[in-house]
Amino acid sequence: MRDFSNDHRWLSLNTATVRKQGDLAQIVDACAKHGIRAIDPWRDQVATIGLDRAAKVIKDAGIELTGYCRGGMFTADESHRNEARDDNRRCVDEAKALGAPCIVLVVGGLPQYSRPGSAPSKNIVNARAQVDDAIAEMMEYAKQANMPLAIEPLHPAYAADRACVNTTEQALDICDRLDPNRLGMLGVALDVYHIWWDPELLPQIARAGKDRLMAFHVCDWLVPTKDILNDRGMMGDGVIDIKSVRSAVEAQGFAGYSEIEIFSQNWWDRPMDEVLQVCIERHKTVV
Amino acid sequence: MRDFSNDHRWLSLNTATVRKQGDLAQIVDACAKHGIRAIDPWRDQVATIGLDRAAKVIKDAGIELTGYCRGGMFTADESHRNEARDDNRRCVDEAKALGAPCIVLVVGGLPQYSRPGSAPSKNIVNARAQVDDAIAEMMEYAKQANMPLAIEPLHPAYAADRACVNTTEQALDICDRLDPNRLGMLGVALDVYHIWWDPELLPQIARAGKDRLMAFHVCDWLVPTKDILNDRGMMGDGVIDIKSVRSAVEAQGFAGYSEIEIFSQNWWDRPMDEVLQVCIERHKTVV
């Protein structure tokens, strides 16, 4: 496993971590100032300052991307499927313009939450079948742009409203079905928050292998977790043995960034500089 | 699948559902009044009115038990292991005195939460190994009392603080390791709240078979879930397709009660009679 204790060259910042403190241009500036070499921006943050300007500020700062958040939300009723498809095609175009190495896919839960206005359903089995079909369709478009897709399994607490892909095994099953020859265009984005509890985690990371491991995200699971969406922890403040997961991922040959993604009202309430300083310190000590 | 629409003879009430509205004697009275034939009481509720009196009021009311909540919290540091073992032995004695058909096991998460005072740990793999050892030990004692143990897999959101057994597959793996000959003393208690999201749910219910299916609990998953512990939903108010899970369980030959267990500040704030009336109505329509 790589030694992170001396510098933070393998720290990437998911820009949602400081989304309340500034716009994307300000976040890029702050990252450059703190020697953070990579980010993973969100679509709404890019849209706020405009795609062209986003591409320019990122390029001018010499900052690399570790992904683009996010594609997906595939589950929809019949009348919302085209909307979902077109939205994901635009996402591919944006990712390409920004020079992202992959798109992170949050696949959607039940249709009424994934694409509001869709007819309510309790059929998660059906939602999962839709996800397979829609990823297959998106892959066709993404391949032309040479843009890999990284399925992010989300914690089962989000199964209803955000993603019906809830384990690494399930995400890899989709990869194997849609990309049996491992052509490099489909893989997984693993976030310790979503997967740390999984008894099958280590064998599934081994199953993924280097070519399917497209992104590695870190934060922490707090006890108690007061808000299931916006009370994620700074690395070291919770119960996840982050180093053991990174060790397993690197044992497969993953040599990319550890991307910090923290949705937290607590951290959104602090100055951007303070958050980035703590991220850098914890990256050296507990990641 | 049995037709529940005409009566509520297969409704059991987990007494935590109305724990704030009255003591166990009052709950038993209310159940008798509403024609509820079975309950699953909690140890602290029994302790409050005393074991002898609890046994007497249950017997006098002609009410059956569907389980006894709860044994477990096995994970502990060295200095708290005897405490955990002795506590679970007392649980067996109480269950026997009350005539319970099984003890529901919530196995514990990390030791510092399971047995407060234990040294903090982030090693969930180690916690799981401890659970295996401790269930094996408890089984020796339970066998002498002819008291079956039902492992309840809890939702992964509870992995840190309540149970490191988080899927039906994982619970059944423990059953197979500790009771390979299926002697009837070890099985699972399945609660739709904890398992509805699991992509492996249906094959694992089939794997369990009738003899391992010792209890079936119902409530619902609300969107949004405002509190991960105490915002469970009344059946029908959330996103779980409860009938599809009951159908799968009954296809294996399960013919017992559907036990309603709702931890909810919302429902604790309402009069006991109202809660029981709604439970009965929803049992007929959505369970």
Tell me the pLDDT tens digit for each residue of A92-101: 999 999 999 9
Say if residue A124 is exposed, middle or buried (CB neighbours under 10 Å; 0-12, 13-18, 19+).
buried
Determine, yes or no, domain membership for B5: no
C-alpha B283/C-alpha B234 separation (Å) is 10
Query: Averaged over A56-71, what is the pLDDT?
Result: 98
Nearest-neighbour CA in chain A from B166: distance (Å): 8
Would you state the pLDDT for residue A212?
A: 98
Determine, yes or no, domain membership for A4: no
| Chain A positions in Cβ-Cβ contact with residue B128 (cut-off 8 Å) | 199
Cβ atoms of residues B93 and B103 within 8 Å: no
Cβ atoms of residues B184 and B211 within 8 Å: yes
Provide the CATH number for the domain around residue A184. 3.20.20.150
C-alpha B275/C-alpha B277 separation (Å) is 5
Can you read off the two tokens belonging to residue B159? 């992995």
Query: Could you tell me which residues come within 8 angstroms of residue A134 by beta carbon, excluding any fewer than 6 positions away?
Result: A74, A75, A81, A84, A85, A88, A107
User: Which of A110, A118, A121, A122 is the best residue to mutate to test the B interface, defined by the most B CB atoms within 10 Å of its own CB?
Assistant: A122
SS3 B11: strand
Annotate chain A with DSSP letters as a single string. Answer: ----SS--TTEEEEGGGGTTT--HHHHHHHHHHTT--EEE-BHHHHHHH-HHHHHHHHHHTT-EES-EEEEE-----GGGHHHHHHHHHHHHHHHHHHT-S-EEEE-BSSHHHHSTTSPP---HHHHHHHHHHHHHHHHHHHHHTT--EEE-PPPGGGTTTTBS--SHHHHHHHHHHH-TT--SSEEEEEEHHHHTT-TTHHHHHHHHHHHHEEEEEE-B--SS-SSTTTBPBPTTSSS--HHHHHHHHHHTT--S-EEE---BHHHHTS-HHHHHHHHHHHHHHT-
Residues in chain A: 287
Residue B199's Cβ-side half-sphere holds a number of Cα atoms within 13 Å equal to 22
The closest CB to that of A225, out of B122, B166, B228, belongs to: B228
Cβ atoms of residues B104 and B215 within 8 Å: yes
Say if residue A181 is exposed, middle or buried (CB neighbours under 10 Å; 0-12, 13-18, 19+).
exposed
Nearest-neighbour CA in chain A from B241: distance (Å): 6
Measured in degrees and rounded to the nearest 5, phi and psi for residue B183 equal: -85, 0
| Domain count across chain A | 1
A81-135 pLDDT, tens digit per residue, is 999 999 999 999 999 999 999 999 999 999 999 999 999 999 999 999 999 999 9
Determine, yes or no, domain membership for A3: no
Determine, yes or no, domain membership for A1: no
C-alpha A32/C-alpha B39 separation (Å) is 62
- Put simply, the answer to whether A221 touches B160 (Cβ < 8 Å) is yes
C-alpha A239/C-alpha A241 separation (Å) is 6
Would you state the pLDDT for residue B95?
A: 98
Cβ atoms of residues B200 and B167 within 8 Å: yes
pTM: 0.97
- Put simply, the answer to whether B110 touches A239 (Cβ < 8 Å) is yes
Mean pLDDT (chain A, rounded): 98
Determine, yes or no, domain membership for B120: yes
Query: Averaged over A42-69, what is the pLDDT?
Result: 98
| Chain A positions in Cβ-Cβ contact with residue B225 (cut-off 8 Å) | 157, 228
- Put simply, the answer to whether B128 touches A199 (Cβ < 8 Å) is yes
Query: Could you tell me which residues come within 8 angstroms of residue B47 by beta carbon, excluding any fewer than 6 positions away?
Result: none
- Adjacent-strand bridge partners of A190: A216
B75 is in which domain, residue-wise? Answer: 11-285
- First-to-last alpha carbon distance for chain B, in angstroms, is 11
Would you state the pLDDT for residue A23?
A: 98
CA-CA distances (angstroms) from residue B175 to B47, B126, B180, B185, B252? 30, 18, 7, 9, 17
Which DSSP state fits B232? P
C-alpha B222/C-alpha B233 separation (Å) is 6
- Put simply, the answer to whether B113 touches A223 (Cβ < 8 Å) is yes
Closest residue by Cα to residue B75 from B117, B134, B125: B134
Closest residue by Cα to residue A231 from B224, B276, B118, B108: B224
Measured in degrees and rounded to the nearest 5, phi and psi for residue B160 equal: -75, -45
Would you state the pLDDT for residue B34?
A: 98
- Put simply, the answer to whether A228 touches B228 (Cβ < 8 Å) is yes
Query: Could you tell me which residues come within 8 angstroms of residue B234 by beta carbon, excluding any fewer than 6 positions away?
Result: B219, B220, B262, B264, B267, B278, B279, B282
User: Which of B128, B197, B243, B247 is the best residue to mutate to test the A interface, defined by the most A CB atoms within 10 Å of its own CB?
Assistant: B197
The closest CB to that of B241, out of A122, A155, A223, belongs to: A122
C-alpha B134/C-alpha B136 separation (Å) is 5
Annotate B52-92 with DSSP letters as a single string. Answer: HHHHHHHHHTT-EES-EEEEE-----GGGHHHHHHHHHHHH
| Chain A positions in Cβ-Cβ contact with residue B228 (cut-off 8 Å) | 157, 224-225, 228
Residues with pLDDT less than 50, chain B: none
Query: Averaged over A210-233, what is the pLDDT?
Result: 97
Cα dihedral across residues A177, A182, A183, A187: positive or negative: positive
Identify whether B224 is preceded by a cis peptide bond (ω within 30 of 0): yes
C-alpha A200/C-alpha B196 separation (Å) is 18
Q: Read off the amino acid at residue B276.
A: L
The closest CB to that of A160, out of B110, B124, B221, belongs to: B221
Query: Averaged over A4-14, what is the pLDDT?
Result: 98
For A111, nearest residue in chain B (alpha carbons): B239
Which DSSP state fits B165? -
Measured in degrees and rounded to the nearest 5, phi and psi for residue B270 equal: -105, 160
Count of beta carbons in the 10 Å neighbourhood of residue A85: 15
Cβ atoms of residues B284 and B4 within 8 Å: yes
| Chain A positions in Cβ-Cβ contact with residue B160 (cut-off 8 Å) | 197, 221, 223, 238-239
- Put simply, the answer to whether B160 touches A199 (Cβ < 8 Å) is no
Which contiguous run of DSSP H or E holds residue B124?
helix B124-144
